[in-house]
Amino acid sequence: MADERYTEDHEWVRVEGAIAVCGISNYAQEQLGDVVFVELPEVGRVVAANDEIAVVESVKAASDIYAPISGEVVAVNDAVEGDPELVNRDATGEGWLFKIKVDDASEAEKLMDESSYEDYVTGLDE
Domains, in order of start, for the chain: 5-104 (2.40.50.100)
Say if CB 50 and CB 27 are below 8 A apart: no
Nearest to 40 by CA among 19, 56, 24: 56
Mean pLDDT of the chain: 94
CA distance linking residue 86 with residue 123, whole number of Å: 27
| 3-state DSSP percent of the chain in helix, strand and coil, to 5 | 25, 35, 40
pLDDT average, residue stretch 3-21: 95
Q: What is the pTM of this model?
A: 0.94
Q: How confident is the model at residue 3 (pLDDT cuts 50, 70, 90)?
A: confident
- 42: Cβ–Cβ under 8 A, 6 or more apart, which residues? 73
Residues in the chain: 126
